[in-house]
Structure 1
Amino acid sequence: MTDIAPSSANLSAKLPLLLLIAAPRGFCAGVDRAIVIVERALEKYGAPVYVRHEIVHNRFVVEGLKAKGAVFVEELDEVPDGVPVIFSAHGVPKSVPVDAQQRGLSYFDATCPLVSKVHRQAERQVAAGRHILFIGHRGHPEVIGTFGQVPENTMTLIETVADAEAFTAPDPDNLAFLTQTTLSVDDTAAIVDVLQRRFPTIASPKGEDICYATSNRQNAVKAIASSCDAVLVIGAPNSSNSLRLVEVADREGTPARLIQRADEIDFEWLRGVATLGITAGASAPEVLVREVVAKLSEKFDVEEREVEEVRETVSFKLPRGLEAA
């Protein structure tokens, strides 16, 4: 009996892989606005245009803007005289635009309007004589910017349920809480529950501080996670909202990993995965999603299925002077 060798077609056959692609995903209105502000400023003034801090937390986006003439710095004193400067989407302390004005610098504020809303609420609560408990992550630019809106010692950072349990209030009847816009919805709710139990009169934000885009992307991951063997989140390691998406999937019982680009896909990790969830943080462009799908298609027979939880229609106006650049 003659042995029959397997055909090359059988050896090269790709395993099937169903991709459940979460929607909404990727750019939110605040990120889109911030990037357009940089691009319009470059059109209006020419290169270089300086940007204080990464305009959004995504290396691909930042490198693309660098190639067009944007220069990213961490502090205002790194900006030379006579060139325009842009403040990142995460917001800046009040002292930064004041310093820019004193130096006569032209500047544009790309702070997300939903972050600016939190800034105004902080000012109002302090003006009303309340001490603010701010739920957020230490060192994040949004937290630094929000603390910079009010006088020192009028706000305390709360990062965990343990922090909320341990906080001692000199005046328990004059407290308010606010939150970073890119937190885990579930984790934040647990912290708020503790604060409201311990301090029944604590003032709440007007509306939800966690932004619509953060909530929507977390809900979209929840919608697909139980049907997936694993989830890939496209985003940056310094992106708060992207890291929260990994946590959401993990909490649903589905292993998840954060990648920045397609070349970071660990195909060994995908061994045995038949259904893979894909999403992208609010500062990751759709081109990176398509790059990941294309890379997966090299190894698998891919079927794509988008799972849309809600359709986003939010948009924000550009600063005066850049609308028609």
Structure 2
Amino acid sequence: MVKVLLAQPRGFCAGVIRAIDIVDQALDRVGAPVYVRHEIVHNRHVVDTLKAKGAVFVEELNEVPTGAVTIFSAHGVSRTVQADAEARGLPVIDATCPLVSKVHIQGRRYVQAGRTLVLIGHAGHPEVEGTLGQIDGEVHLVGTPEEVESLPLALDAPIAYITQTTLSVDDTRAIIGALTARFSDVTGPDTADICYATQNRQSAVRELCEHADMLLVVGSPNSSNSNRLREIGEEMGKPSFLVADGSQLDPRWLEGVETIGLTAGASAPEELVQSVIAAIRAVTSVTVETLDGLEENVQFRLPPALDRLPQRARVA
């Protein structure tokens, strides 16, 4: 018998729900296919489900036929991509998470105010690439405190920082500390502007690991926030594993374990969490409890461009 403790909150955040709803509603309005630049969110199950409904995922706009409805992923895109779509006359629905868009606006404001901008994030991540392409002027990308030390900037230069949304206050604290220690004039957004979902899920995992013998995180290997949840479990001294779904559960992980902490990244649907519970139940008897935690009631409006799509003819 093992106990499964579920984190609260876990799984889908408001930005992911909004992005998936955008694809679903676009398909409902115009019919298949609609084209999505990059994975709408970083979860293979979600992507495959939308593919089955008629969404076509592409990496570049030149893969989109002329006139086809085009959706930008929740991670955001550069201004170059936006301009290319406009030049081609593509009907675009922007599914960029509103919290990501907020970071873009903050960055532009800091640059307009004459500050040198530092972006705290992971090189190569789609959100980071999009943010870099949304800012006019030079942006310095740093991912560690050590990289702050090598920034080619005067110590009295006016600095401003913005952060990748899938990093929490805890993730960015050391880097912000390195910036303020090295430079004399540093500003940045209030900690309240950090993505609520990232912070809440990481806090829930820390609480979970106080009660569990091991940690399972449901999420895709390319999901930044899911990987960070697993890393937190390891930092807290717990065996921690990232699984896409129940099929990846290794029964050997359960040997000698009495309590399993189970959570999911912000792009992982609840059905995958349930598939992991079913896989555990196939090995041993299980009780399931949910830890007390925050109830998230955040909702984001859908973009007005959805309403401007032509409705396909309905068969009576």
Q: Which residue of 1 aligns with 2:112?
A: 127
Instruction: Specify which of 273, 276, 283 is matched with residue 257 of structure 2.
Output: 273
Q: Distance in 1 between matches of 2:111 and 2:37?
A: 27
Which amino acid in 2 is paired with 1:189? R
Q: Which runs of 5+ in 1 are unaligned?
A: 1-15
| Deviation of 1:60 (Å) | 0.2
Q: Which runs of 5+ in 2 are unaligned?
A: 312-316
Partner secondary structure for residue 23 of structure 1: coil
Which amino acid in 2 is paired with 1:283? S
| 1:41-60 correspondence runs (5 A) | 41-60=26-45
Contact 2:155 2:182 in 1 (8 A): no
* Residue 148 (structure 2) pairs with residue 164 (structure 1): yes
Q: Which residue of 2 aligns with 1:40?
A: 25
* Residue 12 (structure 2) pairs with residue 27 (structure 1): yes
| 1:233-272 correspondence runs (5 A) | 233-272=217-256
Partner secondary structure for residue 139 of structure 1: coil
Please list the CA deviations of residues 141-165 of structure 1 after superposition, one character each: whole Å capped at 9, or x if unmatched.
000000001235x210011011122
| Deviation of 1:205 (Å) | 1.4
Q: Distance in 2 between matches of 1:180 and 1:85?
A: 24
Partner secondary structure for residue 308 of structure 1: coil
Bigger mean CA deviation after superposition, 211-220 or 160-169: 160-169
Q: Distance in 1 between matches of 2:165 and 2:300?
A: 16
Q: Distance in 1 between matches of 2:81 and 2:9?
A: 33
Q: Which residue of 2 aligns with 1:141?
A: 126
| Deviation of 1:184 (Å) | 4.5
Instruction: Specify which of 216, 219, 230 is matched with residue 200 of structure 2.
Output: 216
Q: Distance in 2 between matches of 1:240 and 1:254?
A: 20
Q: Distance in 1 between matches of 2:224 and 2:19?
A: 17
Partner secondary structure for residue 187 of structure 2: coil
| 1:272-311 correspondence runs (5 A) | 272-311=256-295
Q: Distance in 2 between matches of 1:110 and 1:208?
A: 23
| Deviation of 1:99 (Å) | 1.1
Contact 2:155 2:184 in 1 (8 A): no
Q: Distance in 2 between matches of 1:80 and 1:247?
A: 41
* Residue 199 (structure 2) pairs with residue 195 (structure 1): no
Call closer, same or farther: CA 1:323–1:24 in 2, change over 3 Å. farther
Larger Rg over CA atoms: 1
Q: Which residue of 2 aligns with 1:11?
A: none
Please list the CA deviations of residues 56-81 of structure 1 after superposition, one character each: whole Å capped at 9, or x if unmatched.
00000000000000000001111110
Contact 2:34 2:70 in 1 (8 A): yes
Q: Which residue of 1 aligns with 2:59?
A: 74
Q: Percent identity at matched positions?
A: 53
Contact 2:5 2:291 in 1 (8 A): yes
Partner secondary structure for residue 177 of structure 1: strand
Please list the CA deviations of residues 59-109 of structure 1 after superposition, one character each: whole Å capped at 9, or x if unmatched.
000000000000000011111101100000000001112111111110000
| Deviation of 1:207 (Å) | 4.5
Call closer, same or farther: CA 1:144–1:208 in 2, change over 3 Å. farther
* Residue 144 (structure 2) pairs with residue 151 (structure 1): no
Q: Distance in 2 between matches of 1:323 and 1:310?
A: 33
| Deviation of 1:270 (Å) | 1.8
Partner secondary structure for residue 269 of structure 1: helix
| Deviation of 1:198 (Å) | 1.3
Partner secondary structure for residue 102 of structure 2: helix
Q: Distance in 2 between matches of 1:89 and 1:234?
A: 19
Q: Distance in 1 between matches of 2:225 and 2:72?
A: 20
The alignment covers a number of residue pairs equal to 309
Which amino acid in 1 is paired with 2:256? G
Which amino acid in 2 is paired with 1:250? E
Q: Structure 1 length as normaliser, TM-score?
A: 0.92
Contact 1:223 1:309 in 2 (8 A): no
Call closer, same or farther: CA 1:91–1:210 in 2, change over 3 Å. same
Which amino acid in 1 is paired with 2:292? E
Q: Distance in 1 between matches of 2:266 and 2:184?
A: 34
Q: Structure 2 length as normaliser, TM-score?
A: 0.95
| Deviation of 1:187 (Å) | 2.9
Q: Distance in 1 between matches of 2:244 and 2:146?
A: 32
Aligned residues: CA RMSD: 1.4
Q: Distance in 2 between matches of 1:137 and 1:210?
A: 16
